[in-house]
Structure 1
């Protein structure tokens, strides 16, 4: 233990001497070189060990039949250092990590389709109130990232638009049902009895 403390003291003194501009003592300089050589030898040993482990895994066939083996990487056309992370987010469908401004913009773009899947006017109003609350909250927060430019939605206008889209969908369905009914031949009462 005393030897280690003595070595540490000598290295500290060498650092102070070097910082002051004086020439380092020969024994401290030799200690520095020995420490560097020891670190290099340790790194070389670790590298050799890792290489042996990889070669053994290859020999056992652990890298055979991996997904994407022998296929080129699908890299973006332009240089993007975060391409792998973005692909992971897309592939795993990870959500909730974008800044609020970007997340709200994406949600705003898909909001009409989400509202159309709702069955009641009350659900539509609740969804719009929640969306507007989060937009206002994001504007108040100073979390960094791009500014929140997503507008709030007028609840009454959106409910009216939802009603209109719903009526149009129902009209299309009703028209298809009437067309199908008109195309099927009517059977007479005596034809119905004959089949039973």
Structure 2
């Protein structure tokens, strides 16, 4: 496990550049672990040459989840377009000569947002983050094969749950509904993700993380 306390320490861990091609770095971990914080920090180290392409842009919309009977499991692996995600990663790594627009996830709406994140030809390091980057199932397996290096963000379970409850309340759930969702949906997903930890290239301990 690698302890990371600052952006400077994070920068020192980045993969070495490879002439003539893009590097794709994955940040995995359970819901509420701090993946977005790390991914945004890496992207912010060099905004001109680093681009953030989160897995969450491939959430199925609520309309599709309702039709599939999966709305009450939103966030589970089967509620994402894993093959679409893998296809985008393949395009990003194989077509560096044109700007590619990737989807984002709008947390205020709790919905995916198409064509929101431009990846320009100047980008040499792509950062992607999400729960299921190390999951060994169809779609996710293909996505993992395209990622050069995957870091797993570890976190104390109590802190992770506290963050998730606050996130759900901010999105409009009552405190009771937020607690129930974490217990019924987020915790089982976190257990599934934790089982993939040993497949990571590096495990990060963020207990001492500080900005600046």
Same fold (TM over 0.5): no
Structure 1-normalised TM-score?
Answer: 0.24
Q: Which has the higher helix share?
A: 1
Q: Which has the higher strand share?
A: 2
Q: Higher Cα Rg: structure 1 or 2?
A: 1
